[in-house]
Amino acid sequence: MVPEIQGQMRRAFAIARKDIRIYYLKGPVIIFGVLSPSFLFLAFMIGRNLPVDFLIAGLLGMTIFFTSTSVTPVIAPTETQTRNLERLAAAPVSITTILIGDMLASVLFGMLISLVPILLGVMFGVGVAHPLVLAVAIVLAAFCFSAMGLVFSSTPTSMTSTVMMMSTMIKFPLVFLSGVFIPIHDLPAWGQALASISPLTYITDLCRYCFQGAGANYYSVPMNIFALVVFLVIFMVAAVKLHERSLPMRL
């Protein structure tokens, strides 16, 4: 049992390395993962007198969200189009292993790009009050949002634009309901209710806590971490089930 798990993990890392070489510089990844959140953040920031630590915390949460959900939706439709998925399906590798490999490539991308807002914060004199909590939050959120991207990519299509359009229709409303631009406690009751079912809310809240210190977060730290773990499990289980159903339609 253990050798089989080790073998599947080696295959997952091999798939991740392949994804890194092929997909990191793809147009949809750059546009939806890096440029879109940057321009959206600048459009909101300009002309508003907001604390720098508030802005950096929101930018970090949004960066992890967009970057970690930009790689996984691209992989499945592209590999369906190039017939590479057929070769993977014929190999001694499970669907779960393929998805873990795709997720690992997305996680690394999200974690690397998340260093940018942290460095910007350092440049503007914003310190990290809780670095260990921030490190755990970034890793956990990257896994959670990458698994979310796998759910998007389960649509049995070879058109990347179709998947990205669908994911964008879900992601952009979440940005405005998750405390990125407006603190949760300033939202109306219905907004707070919707925010509670958004995974972005919990990483944004953790970023606020880590940059702004104790008392700056809406939920408790354990609750935020627990919520991200729950969302990760839900997204991963859903992704495996949906991809198992859609794989025959892709081949």
pLDDT in tens, 70-100: 888 888 888 888 777 777 777 778 888 889 9
At 141, which helix (H) or strand (E)?
helix 131-152
Amino acid at 100: I
Distance, CA of 62 to CA of 73 (rounded, Å):
17
Cβ atoms 204, 58 nearer than 8 A = yes
Domain edges within the chain: 2-250
Lowest-confidence segment of 16-25, 156-165, 218-227, 234-243 by average pLDDT: 156-165
Give the model's confidence band at 215: pLDDT under 50 very low, under 70 low, under 90 confident, else very high. Answer: low
Distance, CA of 247 to CA of 92 (rounded, Å):
15
pLDDT digits (tens, 9 = 90+) for 30-82: 776 677 777 777 767 676 677 778 888 888 888 899 888 888 888 888 888 87
Say which residue the tokens 């405005």 belong to: 176
Distance, CA of 251 to CA of 248 (rounded, Å):
5
